[in-house]
Structure 1
Amino acid sequence: MSQETDAIATVPTDLFIGGRWTQARRTMPVEDPSTGEVLCEVADADPQEAMAALDAAAAAQASWAATAPRERSEILTRAYDLILEQRERLALVMTLEMGKPLAEARGEVAYAAEFFRWFAEEAVRIDGGYMPAPAGGARFLVMRQPVGPSVLITPWNFPMAMGTRKIGPAIAAGCTSVIKPAAQTPLSTLALADILVQAGLPDGVVNVVTTSRSDEVMTPLILDPRSRKLSFTGSTPVGKHLLGLAARTVMRTSMELGGNAPFLVFADADLEVAVDGAMQAKMRNIGQACTAANRILVHRDVAEEFADRLTRRMGELPLGRGVEEGVVVGPLINRAAVEKVHGLVRDAVDRGATARLGGEPVERPGYYYPATVLTDVPRDAELAGTEIFGPVAAITPFDTEEEAVALANDTPYGLVSYVFTRDLNRALRVSEALEAGMVGLNQGVVSNPAAPFGGIKESGLGREGGSTGIEEFLETKYVGIALPS
């Protein structure tokens, strides 16, 4: 067998329920987007099979909540070590099912492992409080307890990191969970579950449900009163739908939803630094990221030079299968993604934008779109208000700081913004004015397990990572203690 076939063969393909790999009644195909060919078949759960996973999580909740924090921490630490030991295998699996280049997949595996290490450290730092009542005669005891069985839903674009970013704090806080990965990329999550078994995670603490019928299968779990937490990463329309379901039982939620990131380059910016940042913010994951620079707003005085430099850099990027070393532009996730990206490019060009690079789909097996640079993109272009989710850099000029901030904030989304300037006062002024949960100041990557990731407005609720990440899986309980004098 080839190395690729060998890697896929190492991954379990059944449902993971109550610590056991369980064969489903149906299966679904997993496709290699670089070729359009089927890699393997995995379990395709129905509502009854998914409910069995929630049964297992609910049954394990009390004992897991009572497990010593140090024990939870040590399991996560062992899982961290195992992920790094198996980095090459996991990266290859990810590239095959999702398409991202191997170099990026290796980076994601390391990034995913860091969430386990971070939350291993947070598990032993869950604290509370104790104080006398202001009027005397009583004491206040404040404790933090696990919220309970959690439903975790992850996207296809970062299939392992989004899993550890949710599973890590749940385990650390003492919560059991049912995780549903995206149908396009289930293998990374299944491989992760196998690693947790190797790390000694008790039965039922993490359960994995793969399915092609997300709404039908997951709605009963969300509406079940035993489920006390919903953590979702995905599109804003789906997030709104899930929030409506969660409201029926007043379920705790955290939502990491869509983005429309502005990338601001002021006239005093170091253009080489700005272009480097744009390459990171635009081309990470072939542009298929909610943090991707969607609207590149450049001061008119430097717009031409910036566009020239960015076009040259984008034009040097090799395109091909992600498993080929050196490739930077891999395939998009499916044919619909290619059609969407090309539709946005055509609309922008029809409205007056110039395609300096790319702009047409690549004729080859798989789902490819080339690195593309558009200049003079009009503000009414469809892509100005829509996540591109592809390797398309759309440049729009601006004239004043006030105009740039107004353009940046002219969106219902508020996940991340990027600012490039050498003026300290402007950096602070603009960072404060931008309506976003995160700001990349003279850098094109903001994601870090030690930092609170999340947005405002229609980009979501809550934070993942950082010291606040574990709080999403904890409830605060107050105990009033009578203490007569």
Structure 2
Amino acid sequence: MSLPPPPLLLIDGTLVPASDGATYAVLNPATGAEIGQAPDATAADVDAAIAAARRAFDESDWSTDVALRVHCLRQLHRALLDHAETFGALTTAEVGMPAFMQTAAGFDVPVDGLRWVADLAESYAYETDLGVAAPMGIRSRRTVRREPVGVVAAITPWNVPTQINLAKVGPALAAGCTVVLKPAPDTPWLACELGRLAAEHTGLPPGVLNVVSPRSDEVASVLTTDPRVDMVSFTGSTATGRAIMAAAAPTLKRVFLELGGKSAAIALDDADVAAVAGATAFTACIHAGQGCAITTRLVVPRERYDEAVRVAAQTMESIGAQDPTDPGAICGPVISQVQRDRVESYLRLAEEEGGTFATGGHVIDRDGFWVEPTVVAGLDNSSRLAQEEIFGPVLVVIAHDGDDDAVRIANESAYGLSGSVDSGDLERARAVARRIRTGTLAVNGGVWFSPDAPFGGYKQSGVGREMGVAGFEEYLETKTMAEPA
């Protein structure tokens, strides 16, 4: 399948190269080969994008014209569907994402999310009548209005670019905000292609959506400090999230953060432990484990530990690491040499901590950036392998001694993003799930990922929610008005 036109920036409604003409290579992680050149946006480009977004918010009708917003979002939804094949080819080439994942988080679900949020924007009650009261003896009619926050800097990671780009851009635009989208330097092309479709196939007014792709963190950092930006919406590592929160503090910007995870899949002692182990190992292989909500700790009854390790290892061995263009691929490459080296350092750490590999344990010596799907046994929950986010196809199996211990292990983490609980007794599974401090949980195989379901985390997994009504309302301010009654 052919790739789309070369990527360009979108600034103030116009597709342009970087102002100094600079570019950087976009690599295919499955081969390590260059597939294109992305514009390396300059500080002047980022400044121009912020200025355009500010003008569009302050001087156009975008923030007040709900019908226009809904119309443009539906146009963008249609454009994405019409270009789905090209988008899919680019996703596989730029991200190394297996094709099967694009039928869910990679493309289909986030694109459907645009339709969903357009419908929500159209039907949402932006004003609520609180009725008449007499505070301090003065009869007044009170109204609560919901209004757009303003200019949003959307800063997105490389692992599931289209899903996260749209989970920010869609609700922000639907709410009436204007946006500067800044993708990760490993995956700039998908964001630029989103900008191209918006520019060429929608009636978005100039400046409403801008896309800039600087490689330099220093150039991008102005998005978190510039007083013309009202909100930063960031998805990425917890360490970077802390830095963004600190950078935004002097101007008291609203900050949304969706950060790391080390989610636990718990099998209680009446569960089908083999089935849970197989399903969790499969999940840990998806997209080479490069998902913040993937369950990477398998927590099983101590008396079933060896069985769980064996089944998890057999499952991972049957999946292997495959070319993402293969229709049957589940586990493709990791995104870059940097990420492969990071995962490899954790594999060496597993050995230092006393763990053993039931399968895997090594990087793969081939073109591109590959890691063997790996099951680590013999470590407890205090190990760094069990506590730190690896972002590779690595599953740590941990023994528990009953429901209370399983809950303790799940909650004994700096993170609280996702997880799962399985039991032969649904009410027992629910009771355990209610005690786990995470933002999403699958109970006995239920699926929570959907445009209408809020997603986000407790503790160091983030601040706020994305998707669902809660995700839309992240981009709204609340104004209370009163008049004589």
Report the TM-score when normalising by structure 1: 0.94
Distance 1:88 1:66 in 2: 33
SS where residue 144 of structure 2 aligns?
A: strand
Indicate yes or no: 2:191 matched with 1:178: no
SS where residue 323 of structure 2 aligns?
A: coil
Indicate yes or no: 2:48 matched with 1:16: no
How do 1:2-151 residues align onto structure 2 when only pairs under 5 Å count? 3=1, 6-7=2-3, 10-24=4-18, 25=20, 26-62=22-58, 63-107=60-104, 108-124=106-122, 125-130=124-129, 131-135=131-135, 137-151=139-153
1:162 Cα deviation after fit: 0.4
1:342 Cα deviation after fit: 2.1
Is the 8 Å Cα contact of residues 87 and 106 (structure 1) preserved in structure 2?
A: no
Higher deviation after alignment, 226-235 or 64-73: 64-73
Distance 1:353 1:426 in 2: 32
Is the 8 Å Cα contact of residues 95 and 187 (structure 2) preserved in structure 1?
A: yes
Indicate yes or no: 2:285 matched with 1:283: yes
Residue among 208, 212, 215 paired with 1:212: 215
Higher deviation after alignment, 61-70 or 408-417: 61-70
Distance 1:176 1:167 in 2: 9
**1:408-466 alpha-carbon deviations (Å, 9 max, x no partner):** 11111111121111223322221121111111212375322110100011111010001
1:368 Cα deviation after fit: 0.3
Instruction: Give the letter for the 1:78 counterpart.
Output: Q
Distance 2:379 2:231 in 1: 42
Instruction: Give the letter for the 2:167 counterpart.
Output: R
Distance 2:444 2:313 in 1: 20
Instruction: Give the letter for the 2:253 counterpart.
Output: M
1:226 Cα deviation after fit: 1.8
Distance 1:257 1:331 in 2: 22
Higher deviation after alignment, 411-420 or 343-352: 343-352
SS where residue 221 of structure 2 aligns?
A: helix
Shift in CA distance, 64/455, structure 1 to aligned 2, threshold 3 Å: farther
Distance 2:341 2:209 in 1: 37
Distance 1:232 1:409 in 2: 24
Distance 1:243 1:466 in 2: 23
Is the 8 Å Cα contact of residues 429 and 444 (structure 2) preserved in structure 1?
A: no
Shift in CA distance, 250/110, structure 1 to aligned 2, threshold 3 Å: same
SS where residue 296 of structure 2 aligns?
A: strand
Is the 8 Å Cα contact of residues 84 and 109 (structure 1) preserved in structure 2?
A: no
1:280 Cα deviation after fit: 5.0
Is the 8 Å Cα contact of residues 126 and 147 (structure 2) preserved in structure 1?
A: no
Q: What is the percentage of aligned positions where both structures have the same residue?
A: 34
**1:208-260 alpha-carbon deviations (Å, 9 max, x no partner):** 0101112x123323222221111000011111111111111111111001111
How do 1:333-352 residues align onto structure 2 when only pairs under 5 Å count? 333-352=335-354
Is the 8 Å Cα contact of residues 245 and 255 (structure 2) preserved in structure 1?
A: yes
Is the 8 Å Cα contact of residues 352 and 378 (structure 1) preserved in structure 2?
A: no
Report the TM-score when normalising by structure 2: 0.94
Instruction: Give the letter for the 1:142 counterpart.
Output: V
Instruction: Give the letter for the 2:207 counterpart.
Output: G
Distance 1:228 1:196 in 2: 23
SS where residue 166 of structure 1 aligns?
A: helix
Is the 8 Å Cα contact of residues 361 and 374 (structure 2) preserved in structure 1?
A: yes
CA RMSD of aligned residues (A): 1.7
Shift in CA distance, 66/444, structure 1 to aligned 2, threshold 3 Å: closer
Instruction: Give the letter for the 1:55 counterpart.
Output: A
SS where residue 316 of structure 1 aligns?
A: helix
Residue-pair matches, total:
476
Instruction: Give the letter for the 1:180 counterpart.
Output: K
SS where residue 298 of structure 2 aligns?
A: strand
Shift in CA distance, 461/167, structure 1 to aligned 2, threshold 3 Å: same
Instruction: Give the letter for the 2:133 counterpart.
Output: A
Distance 1:327 1:401 in 2: 35
Q: Which runs of 4+ in 1 moved over 4 A?
A: none
Is the 8 Å Cα contact of residues 286 and 331 (structure 2) preserved in structure 1?
A: no
Q: What does residue 354 of structure 1 align with? A: 356
SS where residue 107 of structure 2 aligns?
A: helix
Shift in CA distance, 72/345, structure 1 to aligned 2, threshold 3 Å: same
Is the 8 Å Cα contact of residues 287 and 333 (structure 2) preserved in structure 1?
A: no
SS where residue 263 of structure 1 aligns?
A: strand
Residue among 307, 312, 324 paired with 2:309: 307
Shift in CA distance, 427/481, structure 1 to aligned 2, threshold 3 Å: same
Is the 8 Å Cα contact of residues 154 and 181 (structure 2) preserved in structure 1?
A: yes
How do 1:432-447 residues align onto structure 2 when only pairs under 5 Å count? 432-443=434-445, 446-447=448-449
1:103 Cα deviation after fit: 2.0
Higher deviation after alignment, 28-37 or 194-203: 194-203
Shift in CA distance, 11/106, structure 1 to aligned 2, threshold 3 Å: farther
SS where residue 438 of structure 1 aligns?
A: coil
**1:89-140 alpha-carbon deviations (Å, 9 max, x no partner):** 1111011111111222343111220221111111111422111124561111
Distance 1:209 1:444 in 2: 38
**1:340-368 alpha-carbon deviations (Å, 9 max, x no partner):** 22222222233332211111111111110
Any stretches of 5+ residues in structure 1 without a counterpart?
none
Is the 8 Å Cα contact of residues 73 and 121 (structure 1) preserved in structure 2?
A: yes
How do 1:389-468 residues align onto structure 2 when only pairs under 5 Å count? 389-443=391-445, 446-468=448-470
Instruction: Give the letter for the 2:14 counterpart.
Output: R
Shift in CA distance, 71/276, structure 1 to aligned 2, threshold 3 Å: farther
Is the 8 Å Cα contact of residues 356 and 374 (structure 1) preserved in structure 2?
A: yes
Instruction: Give the letter for the 1:132 counterpart.
Output: V
Instruction: Give the letter for the 1:152 counterpart.
Output: A
1:66 Cα deviation after fit: 4.4
Instruction: Give the letter for the 1:121 counterpart.
Output: D
How do 1:156-167 residues align onto structure 2 when only pairs under 5 Å count? 156-167=158-169
1:199 Cα deviation after fit: 2.6
Is the 8 Å Cα contact of residues 320 and 372 (structure 2) preserved in structure 1?
A: no
Distance 2:351 2:228 in 1: 51
Higher deviation after alignment, 47-56 or 416-425: 416-425
